[in-house]
Chain A
Amino acid sequence: MSALLWALVAVPLVAGAWLALAGHHVDRYVPALGVAAAGATLALAVAAAALRPRASAPLFAGIRAGLDVDGLSAVMVVTVAAVTVAVLVFSAGEFGGGENRGRFFGLMLIFAGAMLVTVTATTLPVLLMAWEVMGAMSWALIGYWWRRRERVRAADIAFLTTRTADLGLYLAAGAALAGGVGTLSLNALPAAASPWLHVVTAGVVLAALGKSAQLPFSFWLSRAMQGPSPVSALLHSATMVAAGAYLLLRLEPLLAATGWAEPFVAWAGAVTALVLGLVAVAQTDLKQLLAASTAAQVGFMVLAAGSGAVVGGTMQLMAHAATKAGLFLAAGAWLTALGTKQLPALRGAARTYPVTGAAFTTGALTLAGLPPLSLWATKDEILAAAVERGLWLYGVGLAAAAVSALYSVKALWYVWRPPPANAGDGYDTERQGTRRVTRMMTSPLVALAFAAATLGVFALPGLSAWLRAAVGGAGEPSPHGWELGLSAVVALAAAAFAWWGRSRHVVMPVEHRRWAVRWLGLDHGAHALVARPVMALARLLAAFDDRVLDGAVRGAGRMGMTVARLSARFDDNGIDASVGAVAAGARRLGRWARRPQTGLLHQYYVQAAIGFGVLLLLLLLVR
């Protein structure tokens, strides 16, 4: 049984590593191999979801590397594996032979594999390792076209931002050890001793919000759009961004244990859902719009975790993964075909490429929360839990749902416009378009659109109960009929208003607000509040290091040299000189002693006579 689980995480990781390192001579077979590996992973994931294996291996003293597929993990592994298959199939269509496909597919597989480890890990160290691998892979994938500086910079910003938040997990791990959770098992975290419990929670929440691009970390998601579309599709749907939401859902008992964490997380999610929704409305770049909407939709999952709606959050995650992956792939398809992702330039794109357009439309309508599509149902699951936490929270959540209808319809409206006469002028701004959308690209789109539309079935009473039993949220509230109706009405009204407003050129005020277009200026804010002070501090410390520490070290060195020179001088002029003087004196004495040694007998006699005289004098004087 455990072999199945090991295989589930090993197949993508090993295959990905091999593909990434294999080099150019396997380049022709890379797409096939990558899709095959992803397909095998999906098969294993389905098997694991059915069989619920668990595995464990020794890692550190008293800490085991545990993997376990429980209900929540089962949903997650299937979601991750399925989205990976779809995205890789699309990539096989999009990436031509000119790209380094081995690197791309390899990194994507490792990315997915790391996500699989993350969602099955039972102990904090393993989760942390996978979490870090995922962060590193996201950096490599966002900066996949590394020859453009701004892309690398975007990758750096994304990596550094998530990485900064990741420190929370390290803090949490350390605090858990301090709080007496020796095994670092996720289930045991709520049992940490009291002051440390809050530190653990704070660390986990920080890491999750950073990874999920919740306020105030959202800006990295905007930068992450610099990467290839398949990367965005995978990163925004089932991995990376979803990982933060997953972590909060997984550790919902921990949030509940503290008391302050749940409302905090709930409000963070709700505010993010609303504000980033408004940001999405203001975007004129399709991928930026989708990115902002991702943050907003993940906000709903975070709201779910904060409201105790684990099942609702899980369903939202699953449905959103299918929806958003499809939307990004559609945007990517158009980007490949038309060479642009600006909404005004994409007018008529859905008419030109009807299959892609249909899939995009399905996804967008789902995203808008229109009944009976999946996100409408899942959102109501969440809002049903939120309403119990407070009417304000519910109000904000409902407003966010309305906003999601606004931006979804905005995107739809543009792509369904009749193409202008000078449509070609807006094309090829990003790159040279191919004007083709291959079947390889459309097939995953259709599959994902179908899933997006239909995943709402899990909200139906029978299936809902099954899922609740599986995930373990039996006590969670189900939405009442009036709630479903209210949210449906709100979504429909918002969508209708958006469509009608667009056609009448009624511009929503938020669209011209700089703060909304600029993602609230979070980027600059982070620069001003974090990056620049940190750099300034670093410069200050560097200066301190150079001037004081290094200066002291160098000064010590110089002083050592000075002392050495002084002692050398003392040695040369003092000791050595005195030794030399002794030697010279001895030599001089020796010369003097040789002077009387003339070899002439009579002079010896004279010396003897004088010596005797001296002796005699001495004798006389002493006596």
Chain B
Amino acid sequence: MTLHLVLLLAAGLFAIGLFGALTQQSIVMIMMGIELMIGGVIVGAAAFWRFLAPAAASGQVIVVAAVVAMAVEMAMGFAVTTAIFRTRQIDMTDMAKDLEG
């Protein structure tokens, strides 16, 4: 368990999540991809704290911030999904092209 390995894990999670976020049509599935990406960030931050600066709390604070971002993302994502679905009866991003211009 070295810094490189843990960071590779984090990069892998991030890349998988990015792939999911880019490929999925369903809003919920996109959110899943973002969750995975944030998971990668959490792992990365924890690894940096562990292997580079364990004496400073900043790494931990980043993890906290990432977790909070996750929660915020979830809540807002579902609120937006609810609002869109209520007005349009859709849950696909491709169907909401209002911003096309």
A and B touch in the complex (CB under 8 A): yes
CB of B97 within 8 A of chain A?
yes
| Cross-chain contact of A605 among B21, B98, B101 (Cβ < 8 A) | B21
Can you list, as one digit per residue, whether each of B15-38 has a CB less than 8 Å from chain A (1) or not (0)? 000100111110000100000000
Shortest CB distance B52–A (Å): 19
Name the one of B21, B98, B101 contacting A602, with C-beta atoms under 8 angstroms. B21
Residue of A nearest to B98 (CB): A599
Chain B residues contacting A601 (CB-CB under 8 Å) are: 30, 93, 96
Closest approach, in angstroms, between the C-beta of A591 and any C-beta of chain B? Answer: 11
| A-chain residues with CB within 8 Å of residue B98 when the two chains form the complex | 599
Q: Does B101 contact A597, Cβ atoms closer than 8 Å?
A: yes
Instruction: Using A597-B101, A602-B23, A605-B18 as known contacts, list a sample of 17 further A-B pairs with CB atoms less than 8 Å apart, ordered by residue number in A.
Output: A597-B99, A598-B97, A598-B100, A599-B97, A599-B99, A599-B100, A599-B101, A600-B93, A600-B97, A601-B30, A601-B93, A602-B24, A602-B25, A602-B30, A602-B93, A605-B22, A609-B18
CB distance from A598 to the nearest CB of B (A): 6
User: Which B residues from 61 to 101 make CB contacts under 8 A with A?
Assistant: 93-94, 96-101
B97, closest chain A residue (CB): A599
Q: How far is the CA of A231 from the CA of B23 in the complex (A)?
A: 121
Query: Interface residues of B, CB < 8 Å — how many?
Result: 15
- Min CB distance, B26 to chain A, in Å? 11
Q: What is the CA–CA distance of A602 and B19 in the complex, to the nearest angstrom?
A: 10
Q: How many A-B pairs with Cβ below 8 Å? A: 32
Nearest Cβ on chain B to A151's Cβ, whole angstroms = 93
**Which residues in B have their C-beta under 8 angstroms from that of A597?**
99-101
Interface size on A, residues (CB 8 A): 10
- Residues of chain A from 570 to 623 with CB closer than 8 A to chain B in the complex: 594, 597-602, 605-606, 609
Nearest to B18 among chain A residues (CB) is A609
Cβ of A602: which chain B residues have Cβ within 8 Å of it?
21-25, 30, 93
* Interfacial chain B residues near A605, Cβ < 8 Å: 18, 21-22
Report Cα–Cα, A373/B23, bound state, in Å: 144
- Write the nearest CB–CB distance from B23 to chain A, whole angstroms: 7
The smallest beta-carbon distance between B43 and chain A, in angstroms, is 19
Nearest chain A CB to B22 CB, angstrom units? 5
- Cβ of A602 to closest chain B Cβ, rounded Å: 5
Partner of A599, one of B18, B21, B96: B96
Name the CB-closest residue of B to A598.
B100
Task: Kindly list chain B residues whose C-beta atoms are within 8 Å of the C-beta of A609.
Answer: 18, 22
A600 to B23, CA, bound (A): 11
Docked CA distance A609–B14 (Å): 12
Return the chain B residue nearest A594 by Cβ.
Answer: B101
B24's nearest neighbour on chain A, judged by CB, is: A602
Q: Which 7 pairs of residues, A with B, have the shortest CB-CB distance?
A: A599-B100, A599-B97, A601-B93, A599-B99, A597-B101, A602-B22, A594-B101
The minimal Cβ–Cβ distance linking A609 to chain B, given in whole angstroms, is 7
CB of A454, distance to nearest CB on chain B (Å)? 122
Instruction: Give the chain A neighbours of B21 by CB distance below 8 A.
Output: 602, 605
Chain B nearest CB, measured from A244 CB (Å): 100
B14 to chain A, nearest CB (A): 11
How many Å from the CB of B21 to the closest CB on chain A?
6
| A-chain residues with CB within 8 Å of residue B101 when the two chains form the complex | 594, 597, 599
Output the nearest chain B residue to A601 by Cβ-Cβ distance. Answer: B93
Query: Scoring B residues 24 to 59 as 1 if CB is less than 8 Å from chain A, else 0, what string do you get?
Result: 110000100000000000000000000000000000
Chain B residues with Cβ below 8 Å from A606 are 22
Q: Is A600 touching B94 in the complex (CB atoms < 8 A)? A: yes
Write out the residue numbers on chain B whose beta carbons fall within 8 Å of the beta carbon of A600.
93-94, 97, 100
Pick 30 A–B contacts, CB within 8 A, sort by A.
A594-B101, A597-B99, A597-B100, A597-B101, A598-B97, A598-B100, A599-B96, A599-B97, A599-B98, A599-B99, A599-B100, A599-B101, A600-B93, A600-B94, A600-B97, A601-B30, A601-B93, A601-B96, A602-B21, A602-B22, A602-B23, A602-B24, A602-B25, A602-B30, A602-B93, A605-B18, A605-B21, A606-B22, A609-B18, A609-B22
